[in-house]
Amino acid sequence: MAVVTRAGAFLVDVAVEQARTDAVQAFLSQETVFVELGTDDGGTGLGYSYTIGTGGSSVVALLRDHLLPRLVGQDSRLVEAIWRDLFAATRATSVGAITSLALAAVDTALWDLKCRRAGEPLWRVAGGFGARVPLYDTEGGWLHLGTEELVAGAKAAEAAGWGGVKVKIGKPAAAEDVERLAAVRAAVGPRFDLMVDANQSMTAAEAIRRAAAFAALDLCWLEEPLPADDVSGHARLAAATPVPIAVGESLYSIAQFRDYLHRGAASIVQPDVARIGGITPWLKVAHLAEAFNVDVCPHFLMELHVSLVAAVPNGRYVEHIPQLRAITRTEMTVENGRAVPPETAGLGIDWDRDAMDDRRVS
């Protein structure tokens, strides 16, 4: 058997590696929620999710008070059944961020356990499509950075053989966004992907206006231009511009992705494994997008998403934002400009338990 006999949750606070700002917020710290499982046959699994500064203790409380007691005694091999059971037990708080983040910490731990038991890396167990995935950079594109810094970051990414860079937009004047983006485009030329991210800061009317202003820049995508619950606004925007519209980091259920895809409101989906509730629903979103002939370019969590993008046929990009180096012993491998999923059994993240303990939040 593989019955869960031990389940614990703890919180680790990881400082950001550099200042990160966008049109609506600053990313100051990563509250990282961990779930550790043990089974009666000696198996172990370690999973995680995160917030960017608030709510981590609430996720841990939901896990400790409600989800983990329910998990003990269940067969860890029945990943789908466990996910559905825990989700059903939280109907009063779902669909929503706190519940999804808690479910993700459990689900990633179960997948870690599953892959370790199989002696295989996540990217093969989850699908096994390709062992190299394209990479683009966001770390050099934050809103507070000056134009010269944006250009330097883009040229460095291009020189490293990466596929593109993402620049944050949402300056008070559209002209300032255009000037910054035009400088980056001029520096890297037409064959390098240039993405932009508005972080839900615009109205539909303003997004349509700015998309028109960006027309000559040949953008790869315009990300989160409107509030995530404004599906109709995204549909109007998608119909008004040839720029592909990307959404997903702020969606918390498969059904929300279905609505976007059904209405033609998204050309690229960006599920975040922590925010969608784990690997189990992440894969369902990816396969749903494949049915609509839409690419998957997940948000953040590159150390985990590199394996999931490699698992599915419509995985297009991994986003480069390093954030776990303070609590891991190794970094994501990049070869010839492409990210390489780990070959070690499990999630493939080499956690530094001493460093994690040093940053535990009591």
Q: Listing from the earlier edge strand, what are the strands of the sheet with 44-51?
A: 44-51, 26-39, 4-21, 360-361
- The pLDDT value recorded for residue 215 is 93
Examine the residue annotation and report whether 299 is marked as an active-site residue of this protein. yes
Give dist(CA 129, CA 316) in Å, integer.
Answer: 12
Give dist(CA 316, CA 324) in Å, integer.
Answer: 22
| pLDDT tens by residue, 112-163 | 999 999 999 999 999 999 989 999 999 999 999 999 999 999 999 999 999 9
Catalytic residue among 168, 234, 305, 320: 168
CATH architecture of 4-119+353-361: 2-Layer Sandwich (3.30)
Contact (Cβ atoms closer than 8 angstroms) between residue 256 and residue 281: no
- The pLDDT value recorded for residue 167 is 98
Name the percent of the chain in helix, strand, coil, to the closest 5.
Answer: 40, 25, 35
| pLDDT tens by residue, 201-249 | 999 999 999 999 999 999 999 999 999 999 999 999 999 999 999 999 9
- The pLDDT value recorded for residue 53 is 83
**pLDDT band, residue 1 (cuts 50/70/90):** confident
Give dist(CA 168, CA 154) in Å, integer.
Answer: 13
- The pLDDT value recorded for residue 17 is 86
**Mean pLDDT value across residues 30-44:** 97
Give dist(CA 353, CA 362) in Å, integer.
Answer: 16
**Mean pLDDT value across residues 306-330:** 97
* pLDDT over 90 (residue 19): no
> What are the angstrom distances between the C-alpha of 26 and each of 16, 30, 197, 245?
10, 11, 14, 23
**Mean pLDDT value across residues 265-271:** 98
**pLDDT band, residue 28 (cuts 50/70/90):** confident
Question: In the chain, where are the structural domains located?
Answer: 4-119+353-361, 124-340
Contact (Cβ atoms closer than 8 angstroms) between residue 106 and residue 113: no
Neighbours of 27 (CB within 10 A): 17
Examine the residue annotation and report whether 168 is marked as an active-site residue of this protein. yes
Q: DSSP secondary-structure letter at 184?
A: H
- The pLDDT value recorded for residue 91 is 86
**pLDDT band, residue 197 (cuts 50/70/90):** very high
The SS3 of residue 58 is helix
CATH architecture of 124-340: Alpha-Beta Barrel (3.20)
**Please, which residues bridge with residue 346 across strands?**
121
Catalytic residue among 114, 166, 234, 299: 299
| pLDDT tens by residue, 79-121 | 999 999 999 999 888 888 999 999 999 999 999 999 999 999 9
* Widest pairwise Cα distance in the chain: 63
- The pLDDT value recorded for residue 362 is 82
Average pLDDT, the chain: 97
> What are the angstrom distances between the C-alpha of 187 and each of 151, 160, 210?
7, 15, 21
